[in-house]
């Protein structure tokens, strides 16, 4: 070809393109590459016809095979449901006690419960269910709203302090912040509560606080401080402290009256999932 | 230092390749060596080998072994064996789905795979020992490659005739006669190959069920894939590749040189007796010459296409067909047989020096191999006999690692995996040992938390809670153990009890 430069060392024509003195040789494409490219073109045409390919104004070309990932996913979910069918049905019809007594159902409920717990509950209660300050420990034997299967199912289903119908509701007054009691009395009450839990405390302060406790606190926590699970009043004599066991923790709770919120799960989780969750929490609390 | 006799460089036995030698290439192997790609290609073209049918002692042994090994292979999966309950009734079954291996009354779990390791090592050592004593008997008689190739050659002979007819047929242009002979041969080969692959899959599933589901399309995909793979390899290896599998693909010929020495019995051409070789006229005297009349019958019967008179060589599979061929000729000549025989290089060399042949089957090498074989065999057998009937694994809860109860007591959670390796249900009692006064509990408030039923041949998983007494005053970590026991078996496992002593409330 005239007018084109030939590269001396290789004897190959250049394309005429040059960058910083580097010239491009006009070598032919490797034959294998050309064949693969041609095969790709042929394949692409077949693919357009067979598979969804071209967007249009109203939708897209569906292709002869009618392939659809959405349909495929829906189909495999149906298959999964069918596989789980027997166990899921059993979960729906059996009572909570029956689920827990049947080793196979229990194992199934534990599996379902574990994954649902990890997705929904672990954010606050921890993946191991031991909670933290302000978030109840679900593995021990101290329960605010009752630790029986039905109690747990009820708490999960309706939640705590959500304002929805059926939700658990209790309110510890903020004796300090709302100026219901003077600070000195709150200090005395703190000593009284420490003494209730069997720890060494200032006897004089506790004695001063005794009538205040009887008047202000006993209506919920009980005269002996044992609490009441029907109204969500914590037991003050054990070693389980939702907001911490120290004097500062206890005083802070009397002062401000914290109360956490647990979501209402009915409507978000199916009834059988709620059952599985209740069984999971109950069984792993070792009850 | 043992040295093997190399006859290829000896002037008395001129090798075909090389400069100006009178004798033409005799064996297919020698011809192939002379035909290399001048530019140094990786693969030399194969010289077709047409092994001739031979009769004799070793051929009879080979027929018998062929029938025996094939019978074992095809019949074994069909042997039924009574086992209790729903357990498989197949005597030999590798049950991948159920994760069990059944061999008559022996049943292995995946964690007992070391038994197979032992068997493999024993197999290797036995191969070493046999090779050191008798050369490559495995290759010549029992190797599937040899057995199936032999079977394929039978089919080939059936359709195309013996050596000379086959060579003629291959040289002919395509005709109807050639087409049906070749087609028939390949179809029969494929049928045998399919039968081979088909038999293989019966080792992995219940044979009577699989033979039905295989044809109705309901068998597992692995069955079809395995069957197809084995069909392809059988047809390819035994039909097309044959001796090339031994020479190029199999590592064993390369390794066996390390096991052989001058005292190993191998198929040997007795040079001391055979040379100088040459054609023999009927009425001539045998004095002053060797017994080898250079009839090349040892070469034409060789399935590997070699000339055994070149001495011990990599390609030789020690099958002894050349022994039979030579004996037949010697018999016709009225000479004593055994010019080619199972003999040792040391004996040949001794006789060449005019001394008596010495055979030493007991030597350091064979003693070591035998000793190692006995040792590994003993260990494997002991491992098999001393297997526990039950097994316990304890997995301690890792989140939470401990739970503090309302009264201050500490509770740990464990998952116990109890394997019941017997064929009957077992009722295990669980005991916890290491913390005085500890209480056992199970989820769901089981009435009797210390008892668990392990179904026959299954692993049962049990969650167990252990609560230490309030006043136990335990260290942060206390070594403890679980013991499970039934009327037939007992197992224990060590673990720790974590008290949270270093995480005060």
One DSSP character per residue, A114-145 reads HHHHHHHTHHHH-TTS--BTTB--SSSS--SS
Relative to beta strand B410-420, strand B390-396 is: antiparallel
Name beta bridge partners: B498: B477
- The residue behind tokens 């000379």 is B164
Rounded (10°) angle between helices B114-134 and B364-385: 160
User: From CA B463, how far away is CA A31, in angstroms rounded?
Assistant: 66
Question: Which residues of chain A lie closer than 8 angstroms to B411, CB-CB?
Answer: 140, 286
Q: For tokens 């829906």, what's the residue?
A: A74
Helical H segments across chain A, by residue range: 31-50, 69-93, 96-101, 103-120, 122-125, 149-158, 183-196, 203-212, 218-221, 247-256, 271-284
- Tell me the C-alpha distance between A91 and A111, whole Å: 12
Helix orientation angle between A149-158 and A271-284, rounded to the nearest 10 degrees: 130
- % of chain B exceeding 70 in pLDDT: 91
Inter-chain CB proximity A140 and B405 less than 8 Å: yes
Search chain B and give the residue with CA nearest A236.
B406
- Interface A-B, measured as beta-carbon pairs within 8 A, has a size of 56
Interacting residues of A267 by C-beta distance below 8 A, sequence separation 6+: none
Distances in Å between the alpha carbon of B391 and those of B111, B251, B429?
11, 40, 13
Q: What residues in B contact A239, CB-CB < 8 Å?
A: 404, 406-408, 505
CB contact B505 to A (< 8 Å): yes
Rounded to whole angstroms, the Cα distance separating B367 from B379 reads: 18
Give the residue on A whose Cα is nearest the Cα of B464. A286
- Nearest beta carbon to residue A101 from set B406, B408, B444: B444
Cα dist from B288 to A19, B10, B273, B276, B461, whole Å: 86, 19, 11, 8, 85
Residue with tokens 């406790």: A213
Q: In this structure, what token pair is assigned to residue B104?
A: 């008559």
Nearest-CA distance from B231 to chain A in Å?
A: 31
- If phi over 0 gives left and psi between -120 and 50 gives alpha, with beta otherwise, what is residue A163? left
CB-based contacts of A193, cutoff 8 Å, min separation 6: A225, A236, A250, A254
Q: Where in chain A is the domain with CATH 1.10.760.10?
A: 85-165+262-284, 183-256
Q: What residue ranges of chain B have pLDDT lower than 70?
A: 1-26, 29-44, 445-446, 505
Cβ contact, residue pair B465, A286, below 8 Å: yes
Contact B505 A245 (CB under 8 A): yes
Q: Which residues of A touch B465 (CB under 8 A)?
A: 286
Give the list of residues 6+ apart from residue B13 with CB closer than 8 angstroms, or none. Answer: B7, B271, B275, B309, B310, B311
* A183-256 topology per CATH: Cytochrome Bc1 Complex; Chain D, domain 2 (1.10.760)
Q: How far is Cα A96 from Cα A104, in angstroms, rounded to an integer? A: 14
Query: Distance between CA atoms of B457 and A155, rounded to whole angstroms?
Result: 42
CA distance B30 to B296: 13
Q: Which residues of chain A have pLDDT under 50?
A: 1
DSSP code per residue over B156-221: HHHHH-SHHHHHHHHHSPP-HHHHHHHHHHHHHHHHHHHHHHHHHHTTTS-HHHHHHHHHHT-S-H
Give the CATH number of domain A85-165+262-284: 1.10.760.10
Given this model, what pLDDT does residue B5 score?
Answer: 52
ipTM over 0.85: no
Q: What is the DSSP pairing of strand B410-420 with strand B266-269?
A: unpaired
CB contacts, 8 Å: B400 with chain A: 126, 128-130, 139
Residue B25, Cβ neighbours under 10 Å: how many?
Answer: 18
Position of tokens 């109807």? B176
Give me the pLDDT at residue A101, please: 86
SS3 letters for B73-127? Answer: HHHHHHCECCCCCCCCCECEEEECCCCEEEECCEEECHHHCHHHHHHHHHHHHHH
Chain A residues close to B444, C-beta within 8 Å = 100-101, 106, 282-283
Nearest-neighbour CA in chain B from A100: distance (Å)? 5
Of B48, B4, B52, the C-alpha closest to B28 is B48
- Joined together, the tokens standing for residue B99 give 């994760």
Contact, B243 vs B140, CB < 8 A? no
Q: What pTM did the predictor assign?
A: 0.72
Question: Sheet containing B451-454: which strands, arranged edge to edge?
Answer: B451-454, B426-433, B477-485, B490-498
Quote helix, strand, coil % in chain B, to nearest 5.
40, 15, 40
- C-alpha closest to that of B415 among B446, B439, B443, B436: B443
Residue B419 contacts by C-beta under 8 Å, 6 or more apart in sequence?
Answer: B109, B390, B391, B392, B454, B458, B459
Domains and CATH numbers, chain B: 1-39+263-356 (no CATH), 57-112+143-256 (no CATH), 390-498 (2.60.40.10)
Separation of alpha carbons B88 and B78, rounded Å: 12
d(CA B206, CA B220): 12
Q: Which residues contact A86 (CB under 8 A, 6 or more apart)?
A: none
A239: nearest CB among B397, B408, B444: B408
In B260-397 the beta strands, taken as DSSP E runs, fall at 266-269, 340-343, 390-396
CB-nearest to A239 from B407, B445, B463 is B407
Angle (nearest 5°) at CA B394 between B391 and B396: 175
Query: What are φ and ψ of residue A66, in 5° steps?
Result: 55, 35
* Residues in A touching B406 (Cβ below 8 Å): 140-142, 235, 238-240
CB of B200 closer than 8 Å to CB of B225? no
Tokens at A29, concatenated: 């494409």
Centre a 10 Å sphere on the Cβ of residue A194 and count the other Cβ atoms it contains.
21
In this structure, the number of other CB atoms found within 10 A of the CB of residue B258 comes to 11
Taking the C-alpha atoms of residue A116 and residue A136, their distance in angstroms, rounded to an integer, is: 18
Structure tokens at A81: 């449901």
pLDDT, one tens digit per residue, over B100-154 is 999 998 899 998 989 999 999 999 999 999 999 998 899 999 999 999 999 999 9
């Amino acid at each position: 070809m005239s007018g084109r430069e030939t590269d001396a060392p290789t004897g190959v024509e250049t394309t005429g393109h040059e960058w910083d003195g580097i010239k491009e040789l006009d070598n032919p494409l490797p034959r294998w590459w050309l064949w693969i490219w041609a095969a790709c073109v042929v394949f692409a045409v077949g693919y357009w016809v067979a598979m969804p390919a071209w967007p249009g104004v109203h939708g897209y070309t569906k292709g002869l095979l009618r392939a659809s990932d959405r349909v495929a996913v829906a189909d495999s979910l149906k298959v999964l449901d069918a596989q789980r069918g027997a166990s899921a049905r059993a979960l729906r019809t059996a009572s909570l006690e029956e689920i827990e007594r049947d080793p196979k159902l229990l194992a199934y409920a534990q599996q379902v419960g574990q994954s649902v717990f990890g997705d929904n509950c672990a954010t606050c209660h921890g993946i191991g269910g031991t909670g933290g300050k302000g978030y109840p420990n679900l593995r021990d034997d101290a329960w605010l709203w009752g630790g029986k299967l039905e109690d747990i199912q009820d708490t999960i289903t309706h939640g705590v302090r959500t304002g929805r119908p059926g939700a658990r509701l209790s309110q510890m007054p903020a004796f300090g912040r709302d100026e219901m009691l003077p600070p000195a009395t709150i200090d005395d009450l703190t000593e009284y509560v420490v003494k209730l839990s069997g720890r060494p405390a200032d006897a004089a302060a506790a004695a001063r606080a005794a009538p205040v406790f009887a008047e202000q606190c006993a209506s919920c926590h009980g005269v002996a401080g044992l609490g009441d699970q029907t109204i969500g009043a914590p037991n003050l004599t054990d070693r389980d402290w939702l907001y911490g066991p120290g004097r500062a923790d206890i005083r802070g709770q009397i002062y401000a009256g914290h109360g956490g919120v647990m979501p209402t799960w009915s409507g978000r989780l199916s009834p059988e999932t709620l059952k599985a969750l209740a069984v999971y929490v109950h069984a792993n609390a070792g009850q | 230092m043992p040295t093997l006799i190399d006859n290829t460089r000896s002037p008395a036995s001129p090798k075909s390749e090389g400069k100006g030698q009178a004798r033409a290439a005799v064996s297919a192997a020698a011809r192939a060596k002379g035909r290399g790609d001048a530019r140094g290609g990786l693969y030399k073209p194969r010289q077709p080998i047409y092994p001739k049918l031979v009769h004799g002692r070793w051929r009879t042994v080979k027929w018998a072994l062929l029938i025996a090994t094939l019978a074992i292979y095809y019949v074994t999966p069909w042997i039924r064996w009574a086992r209790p309950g729903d357990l498989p009734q197949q005597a030999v079954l590798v049950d991948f789905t159920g994760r069990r291996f059944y061999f008559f009354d022996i049943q292995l779990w995946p964690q007992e795979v070391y038994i197979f390791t032992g068997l493999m090592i024993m197999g290797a050592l036995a191969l070493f020992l046999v090779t050191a004593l008798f050369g490559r008997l495995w290759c010549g008689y029992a190797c599937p490659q040899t057995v199936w190739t032999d079977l394929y050659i039978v089919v080939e002979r059936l359709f195309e005739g013996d050596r000379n007819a086959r060579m003629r047929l291959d040289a002919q242009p395509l005709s109807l006669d050639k087409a049906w002979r070749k087609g028939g041969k390949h179809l029969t080969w494929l049928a045998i190959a399919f039968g081979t692959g088909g038999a293989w899959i019966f080792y992995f599933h219940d044979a009577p069920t699989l033979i039905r589901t295989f044809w109705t399309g309901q068998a597992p995909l692995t069955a079809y894939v395995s069957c197809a793979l084995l069909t392809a390899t059988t047809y390819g290896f035994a039909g097309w590749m044959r001796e090339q599998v031994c020479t190029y693909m199999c590592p064993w010929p390369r390794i066996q040189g390390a096991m052989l020495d001058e005292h190993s019995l191998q198929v040997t051409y007795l040079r001391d007796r055979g040379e100088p070789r040459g054609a023999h006229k009927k009425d001539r005297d045998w004095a002053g010459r060797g017994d080898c009349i250079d009839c090349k019958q040892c070469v034409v019967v060789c399935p590997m296409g070699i000339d055994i008179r070149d001495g011990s060589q990599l390609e030789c599979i020690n099958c002894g067909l050349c022994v039979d061929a030579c004996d037949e000729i010697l018999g016709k000549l009225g000479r004593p047989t055994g010019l080619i025989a199972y003999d040792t290089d040391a004996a040949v060399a001794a006789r060449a020096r005019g001394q008596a042949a010495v055979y030493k089957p007991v030597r350091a090498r064979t003693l070591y191999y035998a000793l190692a074989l006995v040792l590994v065999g003993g260990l494997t057998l002991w491992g098999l006999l001393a297997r526990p009937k039950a097994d316990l694994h304890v997995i301690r809860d890792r989140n939470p690692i401990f739970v503090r109860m309302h009264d201050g007591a500490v509770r740990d959670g464990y998952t116990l995996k109890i394997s019941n390796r017997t064929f009957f249900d077992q009722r295990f009692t669980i005991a916890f040992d290491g913390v005085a006064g500890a209480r056992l509990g199970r989820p769901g408030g089981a009435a009797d938390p210390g008892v668990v039923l392990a179904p026959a041949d299954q692993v049962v998983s049990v969650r167990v809670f252990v609560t230490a007494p309030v006043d136990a005053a335990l260290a942060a970590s206390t070594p403890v153990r679980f013991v499970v026991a039934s009327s037939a078996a007992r197992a224990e496992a060590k673990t720790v009890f974590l008290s949270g002593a270093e995480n005060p409330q």
